[in-house]
Structure 1
């Protein structure tokens, strides 16, 4: 989209939100399946879970992404009215 000059901020925010939610959900499920050992450093699931949580917070919190998406959709519908 960027290559063709099409605005892509909304789609980028949606992709970031979805990816961070999927990563957190998937890694949390892996830790649950492993039980107590899922929190030990012997298994990579612990690191994946920590990385996913940091990605959700550091890369722009989910709430900020949701606000960005909502504002852009609101602006789009205001323009159509």
Structure 2
């Protein structure tokens, strides 16, 4: 898949507003394309997202599951340190 096509596919997954996420910007900032994803992380994201979505559909969503989802994304997916997301947010 060409880099431009890969960027176009990625852009189709997000709501684009303003000049920040556009094909010219992506081609300039990521001329070699985006880094390949880790299949294990992708599986973890899918599992955690399903758990979070199931929880949100109930009458009384468990705030602990929401907190766990946010922490998972911050720490495991985005690589923020363990102190991030622990209070004050």
Identify which of structures 1 and 2 has the higher relative contact order when contacts are C-alpha pairs closer than 8 Å and 6+ apart. Answer: 1
**Is the structural similarity TM-score above 0.5?**
no
Q: TM-score, normalised by structure 2?
A: 0.35
Q: TM-score, normalised by structure 1?
A: 0.37
Q: Specify which structure has the higher proportion of helix.
A: 1
